[in-house]
Structure 1
Amino acid sequence: MEIEPTSGWTLPGRPESALVTRPGPRASETVHALLDRGLRVTVATSSPDARLRDLAGRGLVALTEPGVSDLEDFDVVIRDTAHLRGGDPGAPARGDARPGRRRGEVVLVGGGPGPLGLLTLAGAEALRAADVVVYDRLAPLAALDLAPSGAERIPVGKIPRGEFTPQEQINAILVNRAQQGATVVRLKGGDSFVFGRGGEEWLACTSAGIPVRVVPGVTSAVAVPGLAGLPVTHRAVTPGFVVVSGHVGPDDPRNQVDWAVLAGAGLTIVVLMGVATLPAIAERLVTCGLPGDTPAAVVADGGLPSQRRVIAPLGQVAQAAQQAGLGAPAVAIIGATVAALTPAEPDGLQMSPMPD
């Protein structure tokens, strides 16, 4: 069956596989919508853009050359024309600056860790009322179909070693569209105020006289460990948890975490954005007195079909994650709660995909 995706499109029956042909600038959103429906997705393209390469690198989509795959091998074949509804960040907002319309507003929506089902009802309601959606790569891209078909959709993701939209440019887009009278939804992964730079966007908008509302999101700091069966607290094991950024390592002057305090606090330590720096973080914690055999885990692509985890002692977890090919986005969890629900294997290492 060949279809063209439109806002709110549905698939008949219970298809298991899909081929996306003629992918446009919004092909990654189409892919996420299909993944959210439980399909295995292949994209036929000879020149995948950075976002498609990112999805392929994370194991979420397969890439093939046009004409190579037999169409009969797929339950659904989609000619991706969704980009015809997309937006150009440099173009004026469509239909937003009508004479007499009130000043626009910006709604900071936390979209959760990725699956559409973890977007809040309030977040979905905000999207349905949006004139413009400015979204990140780790936001629930399937949620873009909730916005009106004529809404402008502007990708501003930051792909590791790929496409990068400076924060100043994102701020300018939000202010510009709202000044034209648009209701602008800023859709992020997780929660806007948990390493999401939502505070910077709030300040940029309010400084320009733009009203801002916040719709909290399910933060990956708690959701991703939970999706992998790893609680961040457990009675009689730990009284609490702490969330830290691993964007820069312990030796970087920008990192102001007191690792010695964390090592002795008896709390579960959750590290976001710490795939590259995890070896240095683990070493610093051990140096500061946290035992090297402390249970630890890394969970990649939490909630998505490609979710994987490794469980290993703190002194070995970074190497285990690297050997398993786990990359960003990933969450590291360090502390006794890692073993609270999951007994350790004899060799101290576990690796498992997302449970059905």
Structure 2
Amino acid sequence: MKKITTVLLLFALIFSLTACASEEQPPAQTTEVVSQTATTIAQTETTAQAETTAQAETATQTEELPLLKVGVLKGPTGFGMSRLMEDVATGATPLNAEFEIMPTPDKIVPLIVQGELDFACVPTNMASILYNKTGGEVKLCAVNTLGVLHLVGSAEMAEKINGVADLKGMQLSSSGQGAVPEYLLNKLLADNGVDGDVVVDYSASHQELATAVAAGERELAVLPQPFVTIATMKGEGVKQILDLNDEWLKLYPDTPITTGCIIVKKDLLEKNPQYVDQFLEGYKASIEWVVGNHQEASVLIEKHGIFPKAKVAEKAIPHCSIVYLDKEAAKQSVNAFLNVLYEANPKSVGGKLPADDFYK
């Protein structure tokens, strides 16, 4: 309608100018005015058509991008997603995604089994469980977190311990009984020859144990991030003594602990592999930004509900081993890690080790 009105006004202007020219101007000047006005009309029509075409193309592109539903766990496994969540929320990326924050892995399982999530950030052993539970309907795309377990304790204990073997004859506490922390700690103790000489108390949760350590009620404890940071920030004299990922690498240099990963629904991967790759590229860029911008990332982590306190997240990020390792870089380490868990308890990986098609 705007274009038609513009054209009509221009034609009226031509008529007016022509009439005036017949009384006041020589014929050559009248011809020039008409020619210039006709050119203006053509340019206006061309511009309007270009704008309409661009708008139509933008609308089509937006409509063609399917909505991705993404499950994100609270804690380090979800930290790397914070920048991408912000970009989607502000429209800084063409990706069309909806994120659901989950407090614990068990809450995310039914959504994946029922096919309600396209992507999910989960513990690596949970990815294996889901692969087995769904008959191979999920694929591991990349590892997003390496080892997050640390030994913390008093300054006095820190002076005595330089490695796992130094724990001989000591008593320590750990959270995560019947899960990955217990299996990894047992493996480290056994491979350092002190599994029968260390007493481990598994009676407390992550939060309870972090509080007890900060209060000086436990001298030694194994905790995951960010609870390590909570304990060291709140407890006077509490030290981070050993990074268990470093201790693991002393024994297995080429196979780091692969704690967390991102998985994708097989159906989406088969139907729209390019969009899957586009999302993963955005996710990788998000992780790299988080690793390089601790303070800014911590604000987004709190804003999007991944962890409640930005100050703790900021201190924890450097110790959370946040990475992006694709299939080629991570497969050997994931297989080794899952094999350790399988030997400790087959149920921890879903009853059996996944086949090669577990990987994207």
Q: TM-score, normalised by structure 1?
A: 0.28
In our comparison, the structure showing a higher alpha carbon Rg is 2
Q: Which has the higher helix share?
A: 2
Q: TM-score, normalised by structure 2?
A: 0.28
Structure with higher RCO (Cα < 8 A, 6+ apart): 2
